[in-house]
Homo-oligomer: A and B are copies of this chain.
Amino acid sequence: MDLMIPLKQGAGTPLYEQIYEYIKQEIRTGGLRAAVRLPSTRQLAENLKVSRSTTQLAYDQLLAEGYIESRPCRGYFVCEAENLLEISPAQGEKREEEGEAASPKPGGENGPWAVDFLPRGIDLGSFPYGVWRKISRNVMVDGNREMFLSGDSQGERSLREAIRDYLHAARGVSCQADQVVVGAGSEYLLMLLANVLGRDRTVAMESPTYKQAYRVFDGQGVRVLPVEMDGRGMRPDRLEESGADIAYVMPSHQFPTGIVMPVGRRQELLQWAGRKKGRFLIEDDYDSEFRYRGKPVPSLQSMGMADRVIYLGTFSQSVAPAIRISYMVLPRKLVALYRRRAGFYASTVSRIDQAILCEFLTEGHFERHLNRMRAVYRAKHDLLLASLKALDGDFQMSGENAGLHILLTHRSLGERRLSELAAAAGVKVYGLSSYFIGEPEKGEGSRTVILGYASLTEEEIREGAERLTRAWTAVSV
């Protein structure tokens, strides 16, 4: 069904509220009868030319107030009239709470954004849907029944071999398939790693850093120390002083600062690792596939001290987050430890998904997909930079040589003010301060916001940049 909802842009009433009011009235007056199925939030968003978070917010509100209900696998339906009367405040509260947890946003509050510069998103429109579907069909043919038995706890050997081959060709990573561990997401692998290395370890992390990794270590009871960084990444002298025995870094493109660690600094970190027994570097290479300027820097793992580097990679950024497949490459001497301490954990990735990805890798689809995505992201990247040109005087840009986000630092305004101005213009940007760990006060003076662009269309990038330019130049001091 189609809902033709007349929306007034800039009417003072937020768009989501207009949608919510319209549907509520329709239900109350009988225009929408009980048990009628509503369009999906996605369909409705497309029809009304609004963002999906807007329609989701409207539906969440209707759900919370009991006007509509969600049925398993079926979608949203108008509630029976008697159900409408049964809603107690407690139920309403509960549903609200659920809605909140269902779509957490890194930056905190939810809102009906015209443009959301979400970091670490992906471009889903370019997902090779047809190929993926075709491979799945092939994988699930009769005679392949063993696919449903439990498999290798480390990941299927064929997939690990395919990952080894890819890493060797693309990142110079040198390893055998028995060093590769496949798991459902990098967070899960970091949990395993905490088991393997032991909780009596101290992990050094840059600050700001990838908050999820910090949360995992912290949640696992591992001690985490923030170590000062400069323009080239984690400072080796401070790392040495810290007493940590493990350092977690993202040399290809530090998140969120976007710093690409120069070779010299990498060597210093490797030297640190080599100086004492039991020291390791965790190299999180989460978005190394995307690089726009300069020649690719080899992975830490490939720089001759592979026995000191735990290499972490993911298909969440390069294929799709919902695929839930990441991997780590353990130094040979950690493999036995892994088997003893974490080898009993059955694989968290279904064998079917592993087989699909394996074929995607070995049949050349992944390489083609990456080439296409590099072009897509480069175009978005260039467009964003060009569209923000007018801000050049007031802002300094950084992190723009690789990855899927950039940073803007204002010459005087704080990130809070910048975010508020952006929000008033309907645009969500992400303050740098929320990525600081350990000493949150270090983020207090931040004048930097982060703009991710991977999940936005070119039109949205243009519009977002325009709105930001208007919002931020109007008040510039």
Number of copies: 2
- Chain B CB within 8 A of A169 CB: no
Task: Name 21 interchain pairs, CB-CB below 8 A, sorted by A.
Answer: A72-B159, A72-B165, A73-B355, A94-B176, A101-B339, A102-B152, A102-B154, A104-B153, A124-B145, A124-B148, A129-B142, A133-B140, A150-B321, A150-B322, A184-B188, A184-B349, A195-B220, A219-B341, A220-B220, A324-B348, A350-B350
In the complex, are the beta carbons of B341 and A161 less than 8 A apart? no
Within 8 A of B (CB), among A110-143: 122, 124-125, 127, 129, 132-133, 136-137, 140, 142
- Chain B CB within 8 A of A446 CB: no
Among A133, A339, A361, which residue has the most Cβ atoms of chain B within 10 A? Answer: A133
Query: Would A323 and B350 be within 8 Å (CB), given that A72-B162, A152-B102 are in contact?
Result: yes
Q: How close is A306's CB to chain B, nearest CB, in angstroms?
A: 15
Query: Would A343 and B137 be within 8 Å (CB), given that A72-B158, A124-B146, A322-B150 are in contact?
Result: no
- Chain B CB within 8 A of A391 CB: no
Select which of B94, B184, B341 is within 8 A of A178 by beta carbon: B94
In the complex, are the beta carbons of B322 and A149 less than 8 A apart? yes
Task: Give A140 to B132 CA distance when docked, in angstroms.
Answer: 9
Task: Give A199 to B146 CA distance when docked, in angstroms.
Answer: 38
- Chain B CB within 8 A of A271 CB: no
In the complex, are the beta carbons of B343 and A324 less than 8 A apart? no
Task: Give A150 to B219 CA distance when docked, in angstroms.
Answer: 22
Task: Give A21 to B401 CA distance when docked, in angstroms.
Answer: 57
In the complex, are the beta carbons of A71 and B347 less than 8 A apart? no
On chain B, the residues within 8 Å of A152 by CB distance are 101-103
On chain B, the residues within 8 Å of A162 by CB distance are 72-73
Task: Give A260 to B118 CA distance when docked, in angstroms.
Answer: 51
Chain A at the B interface: SS class:
helix
In the complex, are the beta carbons of B351 and A322 less than 8 A apart? yes
Task: Give A220 to B320 CA distance when docked, in angstroms.
Answer: 30
On chain B, the residues within 8 Å of A124 by CB distance are 145-146, 148-149
Q: How close is A439's CB to chain B, nearest CB, in angstroms?
A: 20
- Chain B CB within 8 A of A215 CB: yes
On chain B, the residues within 8 Å of A146 by CB distance are 42, 124
- Chain B CB within 8 A of A359 CB: yes
In the complex, are the beta carbons of A321 and B148 less than 8 A apart? yes
Nearest neighbor of A343 in chain B, beta-carbon distance? B101
On chain B, the residues within 8 Å of A219 by CB distance are 195, 341-342
Task: Give A259 to B184 CA distance when docked, in angstroms.
Answer: 34
- Chain B CB within 8 A of A358 CB: yes
Task: Give A125 to B146 CA distance when docked, in angstroms.
Answer: 9
Task: Give A335 to B178 CA distance when docked, in angstroms.
Answer: 38
Nearest neighbor of A133 in chain B, beta-carbon distance? B140
Within 8 A of B (CB), among A167-221: 176-178, 184-185, 187-188, 191, 195, 199, 212, 215-216, 219-221
Task: Give A161 to B129 CA distance when docked, in angstroms.
Answer: 28
Within 8 A of B (CB), among A313-331: 316, 320-324
In the complex, are the beta carbons of B127 and A148 less than 8 A apart? yes
In the complex, are the beta carbons of B132 and A185 less than 8 A apart? no
Task: Give A157 to B99 CA distance when docked, in angstroms.
Answer: 10
In the complex, are the beta carbons of B324 and A362 less than 8 A apart? no
Select which of B102, B154, B212 is within 8 A of A101 by beta carbon: B154
On chain B, the residues within 8 Å of A316 by CB distance are 150
In the complex, are the beta carbons of A104 and B343 less than 8 A apart? yes
Nearest neighbor of A103 in chain B, beta-carbon distance? B152
